[in-house]
Amino acid sequence: MSRVVVVGGGPAGMAAAEAAASRGVEVVLIDAAPKLGGQYHRQDGLSSEDRLAPSAAHADRRWTSPENVEHVPDASAWAVEAVDGGHRVHVRVGLADDPSREGRVFATRALVLATGAYDRALPFPGWDLPGVFTAGAAQALAKGQGVAVGDRVVVGGTGPFLLPVASSLVGVGARVVEVAEANAAVTGWLSRPTGAMAGWSKAGELARYAGVLARHGVPYRSRTAVLAAHGAESVESVTVARLDRDWSPVPGTERRVEADAVAVGFGFTPQLELALAARCRLEDGFVAVDAAQGTSVDGVFAAGELTGIGGADLAAAEGAVAGFAAAKRLGAVVEAPLRAMSRVRAGRRFARALAAAYPVRSGWQDWLRDDTVVCRCEEVAKRALYRAVDERDVGAAGPLKLVSGAGLGLCQGRICGRNAAELAGLDDPAAFAKRPIAVPLRLSELAEESRAEAPVDAEAAARPFGIDR
């Protein structure tokens, strides 16, 4: 079909849709949320007003969907399938618990994947207690519903993302008792004149968050982590300790801190299901792309956190480049988007610096006791993973799952997969990421006949703009 299909309505997907639409091409923008914006621009689900821009660079204007963009909200893309001349995206439209949600299929010669990333939590004793949240969930509740996850919250993990999370918690009235950064302090990194930050518009934003925390007297501690959460029914306190360079706790530095909630975020894991189903090549766990955001698969582009973690500005710039490239593939006249491409290059420099400054170090494995649960769905403890390797010589993700049970539950390893793989010594960060059915659906939904859909039109490229009007 002669339209661009974009999956994901965060900064990258919105920018891709806008860019392709600006070249006169029809666009379908598929997003799982009721409103556009993704996690970065999480919107109040109850508000009737759309009030966002695809990136901070355009924060001063509202984003309205161009008329040649069909926005499909509440849409779960559950499969991508290669067909002659392009790809088919299989979608269920409606809320997940709605038995009457509708099946739709979108065929396209130009598919833009902008499915984003979810935040990574590392396990520690007590992390399965009520009151422990991922940093992203805590932020989403604060931004989306104005709800604080607790009265006294400890924020822990690594990377600049902890600052906006803590700041939004403060914003909804929580007392952030402490921010524990496992690597070096973000503030030091921000002020370092390395060039990594040059031209990066988010530096000022982060400084503002840091200012908010300082005003509220929130202690920010580097080389520090939450090692355990304690409580009978839910979190009552946490143990915090200093870490050495490899993240092994420094003996004697443990402190008990009273708290009723913990928000932890250790970087992000890209949401690779659809990219893997389309068989895009990965590099270091992210989708490999060329200068036009093209993946290794013809007609499939990727933008945003799928290609590397670099924040909303980089995502939006990549989205714009991908959108233009996708429109061009359909025959639209497109000049090279030099400004967006230069924003991508600057953003990537920043992303590389970010990845180097905020890695996850192997010492986290020492925080776990033998009986600490790693996979919550199937209640698989660290011990079971070690035994799978030591006793059964498990050497790949498939056997690891089947021997230990990790990753076989409802979340299909989204939460535990990377952690289980690291504990088992598998060095592929995407070992658990292959999920041909990208989101669960009911057997009856799967059984439904795909609604008839015109085949991918191979001739469309020959027509000017490739548009049917």
Partner 1 sequence: MGRIESADVVVVGAGIIGAACAEALSAAGLRVLVLDRGAPAAATTASGEGNVLVSDKGPGPELDLAVASRRRWPDLIDSLREELGDELARVEWEPKGGLMVATEPEAVGPLAALTRAQRAAGIEAVDLDAAAARDMEPHLTERVEAAAHYPEDAQLQPVLAAMALLAAVRARGGEVRGGVEAHGVVYDPGGAVCGVRVDGDAIPCGAVVNACGPWAGHLSVAAGAPVEVLPRRGMVLVTAPLPPVVRRKVYAADYVAAVASGAVDLQVSPVVESTATGTVLIGSSRRRVGFDDALEVEVLQRLARSAIALFPVLSGVPVMRAYGGFRPYTPDHLPVIGEDPRTPGLWHATGHEGAGIGLAPATGRLLADLMCGREPELDAMPFRVDRPAVIVGSAVER
Query: Given the rule CB under 8 A, which residues bind partner 1?
Result: 79-82, 88, 90, 99, 277, 279, 378, 387, 391-396, 398-399, 402-403, 405, 408-410, 412, 435-437, 440-444, 446-450
Closest CA to 390 of 402, 377, 379, 403: 403
The H-or-E segment that residue 302 falls in is strand 300-302
HEC profile for 223-238?
CEEEEEEECCCCCCEE
Nearer to partner 1, 292 or 408 (CB): 408
Whole-number Cα distances in Å, 1 to 8, 11, 23, 106, 453: 19, 25, 17, 8, 9
Nearer to partner 1, 327 or 394 (CB): 394
Count of CB atoms within 10 A of residue 348's CB?
A: 16
Query: Closest approach of Cβ 450 to partner 1, in Å?
Result: 7
Nearer to partner 1, 3 or 88 (CB): 88
Rg (CA), the chain: 22
DSSP 3-state of 180 = strand
Query: Closest approach of Cβ 284 to partner 1, in Å?
Result: 20
Query: Closest approach of Cβ 440 to partner 1, in Å?
Result: 5
Nearer to partner 1, 340 or 400 (CB): 400
**How many residues in the chain?**
469
Query: Closest approach of Cβ 127 to partner 1, in Å?
Result: 22
Nearer to partner 1, 336 or 437 (CB): 437
Query: Closest approach of Cβ 431 to partner 1, in Å?
Result: 11
Backbone phi, psi, residue 308, to 5°:
150, 155
Nearer to partner 1, 333 or 396 (CB): 396
**Residue 221, both tokens:** 């501690």
Query: Closest approach of Cβ 436 to partner 1, in Å?
Result: 5
What string of DSSP letters covers 201-218? THHHHHHHHHHHHHHTT-
Query: Could you give the strand order of the β-sheet that contains 224-230, starting from the edge strand earlier in sequence?
Result: 224-230, 237-242, 255-258
